[in-house]
Structure 1
Amino acid sequence: MKDKLARNISIYRKERGLTQEELAQHLGISFQAISKWENSQSMPDITLLPALSKILEVSVDKLLGYVVQDKKITIYEDEYQTEEYYWGTEPNRACYQVLQLMPPTKPLKLLDVGCGEGKDAVFFARNGYEVSAFDVTDAGIEKTRRLADRIGVHLNVFKADLLEYRLDTHYDIIFSSGDLHYIKPEYRTEIFANYKRFTNENGMHVFTVFVNKPFIAPPPEKETNAYAWHSGELLAHYHDWLIRDSAEIVFDCNSSGIPHQHAMTNMAAQKVPSVLRP
């Protein structure tokens, strides 16, 4: 809990545009105390939590790291309430790239970030990976479990907010398809540094992100919590990794019932061992 609280104080302080000194002034304490909180060296006194919550404009539960949704994160929450699988049950093409580049010839731990209704996570489990997966929607998690039961595979699925969740366990593969646009630009460096840190040597990240293109109209879905990526932006976070594959594609989509197009970057990057120099 201490580490989650430390990260959340730092995240929400920056989101509100406050310096450590300014937050300290609001609370009537020293800025050194704020620094210790954000570095996990100490925790706020319980009597300060209500005031801290009010200043940072988040609930105490959310500050402590519990996922409590005051508003919808994704427009697909309602779609996941239906019996049918909104995205179908066929795996994304990027899943086959994982199989090709890092087949499960030995036990491999894989994390599916933003698993939605679970089609990709279940595919990986079916093919022999040790799979963990998370999503922010209760309905998505329930449908992931239901699909896993139907196929007869085991996976660890849990609820978490992509923007707030940080890894504390190492994985061999981290996978995400079409969910990383929910990460605010100012948090991307920190989040990807966390993902890279908790990836085993020779492990891989296989990600797809939507990118803005001036010749493609904005999608008809109005996602207030989605944030644009730009061409090359994802690769910049992996300048110190081996890029095994990178492509940018334009494809047709009808997810909203209105035909439209998306541009997407597909990336596969590998964490190669550091070269030792004399």
Structure 2
Amino acid sequence: MKSNIGKSISRYRKLKNITQEELAVQLDITFQAVSKWETGQSYPDITLLPQLAAILEVSIDKLMGYAYQEPKRTIYEDEYKQDDYYWGLAPSKLCYKILALFPPVKPLKLLDLGCGEGKDAVFFARNGYQVTAFDIADAGIEKTKRLADKIGVPVHVFKADILDFRLDTTYDILYSNGVLHYIRPELRQDIFINYQQHTSPGGIHVLSVFVTKPFIPPAPEHEPNAYKWISGELFSLYSDWLTRECDEIIFDCHSSGIPHKHAMNVLIAEKPAPQHAIHTR
């Protein structure tokens, strides 16, 4: 997997409102060097990484696109350490929609964005998809691996932060259920452009995201790293794709032991095949 450090430097530099020239001055290098990092033409010297991370106020791991030594980013890390599966083992209803719309009659590469304890990722692998999955919770990753081993199916699972991880491999299917609220609003366009660029023509995205509604009280779980989405926001990021399904649902939830409701937008969108030019005499 190629390093995404250049894109990370660009992203965090812009979030800090620092120009390439200003960053170069602080590092005592040329702004051309910074430009080459951000365009992937070269990489920063390893001795510069601590100073670079300090200026951008992120860890070196985050600059590299991973979060191996990050403090807990999800409230479910401790829940996943329990022997039982917090979300159970039954696959999401969205999984069956993928199976119906895009059955693996040929090899299909699927990426599960934020796989949790791996129940959906393992379901896809059992049904013949070539599955890659990631999550930020160590306990969730370990349970995904154990579940895949128990069922006897291959799942390539690794740790990454959805805020930092960018695709450099093309997939046929991108799937995410109830994870996208961890993406900060100012990063969404950049992240989804990356996702769409690394999707095969004719491939699909099957995504859900929690949305806020004035008539639904906040969920009892306090998630300090969750960010609000509004109704239709997810759909607007796919205006040039073929919409297979877009829906807004309200459902009951008991995940915290306290009955409550959620509103969720659900999208199934297909990437259009490129249009071939028609030549006339």
- Band of TM-score, shorter chain: over 0.9
- The number of residues matched between the two structures is 278
SS of match in other structure, 2:12: helix
Q: Counterpart in 2 of 1:11?
A: 11
SS of match in other structure, 1:267: strand
Q: Counterpart in 2 of 1:128?
A: 128
CA contact (8 A) 2:210 2:229 kept: yes
Q: Counterpart in 2 of 1:195?
A: 195
CA–CA separation in structure 2 for the residues paired with 1:112 and 1:70: 21
4+ runs of 1 displaced by more than 4 Å? none
SS of match in other structure, 2:65: coil
CA–CA separation in structure 2 for the residues paired with 1:130 and 1:48: 38
CA contact (8 A) 1:207 1:267 kept: yes
CA gap 1:196/1:54 in 2 versus in 1, 3 angstroms: same
SS of match in other structure, 1:32: helix
Give 1:240-259 correspondences, 5 Å limit: 240-259=240-259
CA–CA separation in structure 1 for the residues paired with 2:126 and 2:47: 49
Check if 1:174 corresponds to 2:187. no
CA gap 1:244/1:29 in 2 versus in 1, 3 angstroms: same
Q: What do residues 240-269 of structure 1 show as CA deviations (whole Å, max 9, x unaligned)?
A: 110000100011111111111110001000
SS of match in other structure, 1:143: helix
Check if 1:114 corresponds to 2:114. yes
Q: Counterpart in 1 of 2:261?
A: 261
Q: What do residues 132-155 of structure 1 show as CA deviations (whole Å, max 9, x unaligned)?
A: 111111111111111122222221
User: How far did 1:3 drift?
Assistant: 4.0
Aligned residues with identical type, % of pairs:
62
Give 1:1-278 correspondences, 5 Å limit: 3-278=3-278
TM-score (normalised: structure 1): 0.94
CA contact (8 A) 1:2 1:40 kept: no
CA contact (8 A) 2:134 2:157 kept: yes
| One-letter identity of the residue aligned with 2:199 | T
SS of match in other structure, 1:78: helix
Worse-superposed segment, 172-181 or 141-150:
141-150
| One-letter identity of the residue aligned with 2:163 | L
| One-letter identity of the residue aligned with 1:120 | D
SS of match in other structure, 1:112: strand
SS of match in other structure, 2:201: strand
CA contact (8 A) 2:201 2:274 kept: no
SS of match in other structure, 2:202: strand
| One-letter identity of the residue aligned with 2:265 | T
CA contact (8 A) 1:254 1:260 kept: yes
SS of match in other structure, 1:111: strand
CA gap 1:242/1:198 in 2 versus in 1, 3 angstroms: same
Structure 1 segments unaligned to the other structure (5+ residues):
none
RMSD between superposed Cα atoms in Å:
1.6
Worse-superposed segment, 38-47 or 155-164:
38-47
| One-letter identity of the residue aligned with 1:104 | P
SS of match in other structure, 1:245: strand
CA–CA separation in structure 1 for the residues paired with 2:112 and 2:68: 21
CA–CA separation in structure 1 for the residues paired with 2:225 and 2:49: 26
Structure 2 segments unaligned to the other structure (5+ residues):
none
SS of match in other structure, 2:174: strand
